[in-house]
Amino acid sequence: MIYLHIPFCKQKCSYCNFHFSTSLNAKEEMISAIKKEIYLRKDELENKSLQSLYFGGGTPSILKTDELQSIVDEVLKYFSFDSDIEITLEANPDDLDKNFLKDLSKTPFNRLSIGTQSFFEEDLKLMNRAHTSGEAESSIKRAQDFGFENISIDLIYGSPTSNLEIWKKNLDKTIELQVPHVSSYALTIEPKTALHTWFSQGKINAPKEAEQHEEFFYMTEFLKDNGFDHYEISNFGKPGFHSRHNSAYWKYHAYLGIGPSAHSYNGRNERSWNIANNQLYINSLNKNSLPKETEILSEKDQFNEMLMIGLRTVWGVNLSSLKEKFSAELLDYFQKEIKQKLADGILLVEDNHLKIPEKHWFLADGIASDLFVV
C-alpha cells in the first residue's frame, strides 16, 4: 500500500502539529517532486498490486481533481491496482462543493475521509477550522449525492467548548447522516500549537480527563448499538467499511510513504521517514536524491511496536507470531510481565491473541508501555 502526504492547508487548525504549509506557491513543484519520489522508490514495495492508496496531509482536497488524478496516474506507471482497491482522499468539508465532487466522482477515488471534527460552531471556532457547522453536514450529503458511499468522518471529543450533551448530538447527527465509518479522537493540547499557547496564557481550560472518559465510553456503546464495529481504539466501522489502509498499518504490513514527513516500513525491520520541510524535500528530489532517513529496528524495537499497535485493536497481538519472531529470553520476560495484568483482568488471552478488554482501551497506550522491553 502507498500513503501520499499532501503538505498544504488553507489555515492552521489550533490543535494540529502535523507537517504542512498554508502557502501554495510551491504547489506545482511539490507535485512534480512527489511524482519523482514515486519513480525513485518504485522498487521498494515487493507487492506491485496495491490494495490501498491513501492521500493524506495536510489537506489533499486543496488540490484540483486533475492534479490528484495526475498523481494517481504516476502511481499506475509502476504499480497495478487490485480490482477492489480502496483509494482514500482526506478532505475538508469546505472543499467538497458541487463542482469538486462532480469531477472527483469521475476519478478512481472511492473513499472520502472528511475532517468534520464537530457539527457545532463553537467547537469549530476553537479548533480554527475553515468550515462552518452547516458545511460539516452539507458536505456529507453532497458527497453521498455524487455516489460516495464509503465515507469516514473525523470527530473530536473532550473540547472545552463541548460537553456530554453536545457530544451526544454530534453522534446523533452522524447516525442521521448514515455515515458508515468514524475516526474519533480526544482533544489534546500538543506543544507548538495555538491551543498550547492559549492554555499557557490562561485563555482556555485544559480538557478534563474524566469528561473525555465519559464521552469515549458513551461513544463506544452508542456506535456499537447502531451497527458499528469498534475495531481500533479510535476507529469504528460498519461491516464492510473498516479502513483497509489503517488496518494494514495495525497488522504490520509493508507500506510506502511518499511526500514530505511521510513514513515507510518494509514489513520487517526497516523504517524510514522523509524530511519535514517542503523546500528541502523539493530541492533534494530535483537532484534525484531521496530526502529520507532510515533506521534498522532492533528486536526490542520490533517487539515494543507490535505490542503498542496490536493492543490498540480488537484482534490484539498474535501470540504465535511473537513466538516465531522473538528470542526465548525476550518471551520469558514478556510472560512474567503479563502475568499480573492477566490476573487483574487488564489483559486477556482469547484465541491465542493477547488483548486489552474494551473497558480498558482508553488506557491502552499506558498498558502497552508497561510491557515494553527497555
Pairing outcome for strands 80-91 and 49-57: parallel
2 confidence band (pLDDT: 50, 70, 90)? very high
Identify the pLDDT of residue 179: 98
22 confidence band (pLDDT: 50, 70, 90)? confident
114 membership: H or E segment, kind and range = strand 111-117
In this predicted structure, which of 9-13, 47-51, 227-231, 240-244 has the lowest mean pLDDT?
Answer: 9-13
Q: Among 112, 211, 113, which residue's Cα sits nearest to residue 155?
A: 113
Identify the pLDDT of residue 316: 95
90 confidence band (pLDDT: 50, 70, 90)? very high
64 confidence band (pLDDT: 50, 70, 90)? very high
| CA distances in angstroms from 335 to 72, 310, 373, listed in the order given | 46, 17, 12
Identify the pLDDT of residue 93: 96
Beta bridge partners of 114: 91, 153
Q: Are 37 and 3 in contact (CB under 8 A)?
A: no
270 membership: H or E segment, kind and range = strand 270-274
Identify the pLDDT of residue 193: 87
Dihedral angle sign, alpha carbons of residues 16, 22, 28, 32: negative
Give all strands of the β-sheet with 235-237 in edge-to-edge order. 229-232, 235-237, 181-186, 151-157, 111-117, 80-91, 49-57, 2-6, 256-258
> Per-residue pLDDT averaged across 89-117, rounded?
97
3-class secondary-structure state, position 91: strand
Identify the pLDDT of residue 207: 83
Identify the pLDDT of residue 182: 98
User: What span, in angstroms and rounded, lies between the C-alpha atoms of 93 and 113?
Assistant: 10
Q: What is the DSSP string of 166-203?
A: HHHHHHHHHHHTT--EEEEEE----TTSHHHHHHHTTS
> Per-residue pLDDT averaged across 255-267, rounded?
96
Cell of 306: 507490535
Identify the pLDDT of residue 18: 77
CATH class of 298-374: mainly alpha
Residue 19 clears pLDDT 80, i.e. is over it: no
Identify the pLDDT of residue 336: 92
12 confidence band (pLDDT: 50, 70, 90)? confident
Residue 371 clears pLDDT 80, i.e. is over it: yes
Buried b (16+ CB within 10 A) or exposed e, 122-145: ebbebbebbbebebbbebbebbbe
DSSP annotation of 21: B
Residue 92 clears pLDDT 90, i.e. is over it: yes
> Per-residue pLDDT averaged across 231-236, rounded?
95
Cell of 262: 511521510
Backbone dihedral angles phi then psi of residue 324, each to the nearest 5 degrees: -75, -30
pLDDT tens, position by position, 170-209: 999 999 999 999 999 999 888 888 888 988 888 888 888 8
The segment(s) of the chain belonging to CATH 1.10.10.920 are 298-374
pLDDT tens, position by position, 198-212: 888 888 888 888 999
Q: Are 229 and 314 in contact (CB under 8 A)?
A: yes
pLDDT tens, position by position, 272-322: 999 999 999 999 999 999 999 999 999 999 999 999 999 999 999 999 999
The segment(s) of the chain belonging to CATH 3.80.30.20 are 2-249
Identify the pLDDT of residue 17: 77
CATH class of 2-249: alpha beta
Identify the pLDDT of residue 14: 82
User: What span, in angstroms and rounded, lies between the C-alpha atoms of 262 and 4?
Assistant: 7
Cell of 64: 484540483
Residue 24 clears pLDDT 90, i.e. is over it: no
144 Cβ contact list (under 8 Å, min separation 6): 151, 178
pLDDT tens, position by position, 320-329: 999 999 999 9
Residue 107 clears pLDDT 80, i.e. is over it: yes
What is the pTM (predicted TM-score) of this model? 0.93
User: What mean pLDDT, rounded, does the chain reach?
Assistant: 94
Backbone dihedral angles phi then psi of residue 16, each to the nearest 5 degrees: -90, 135
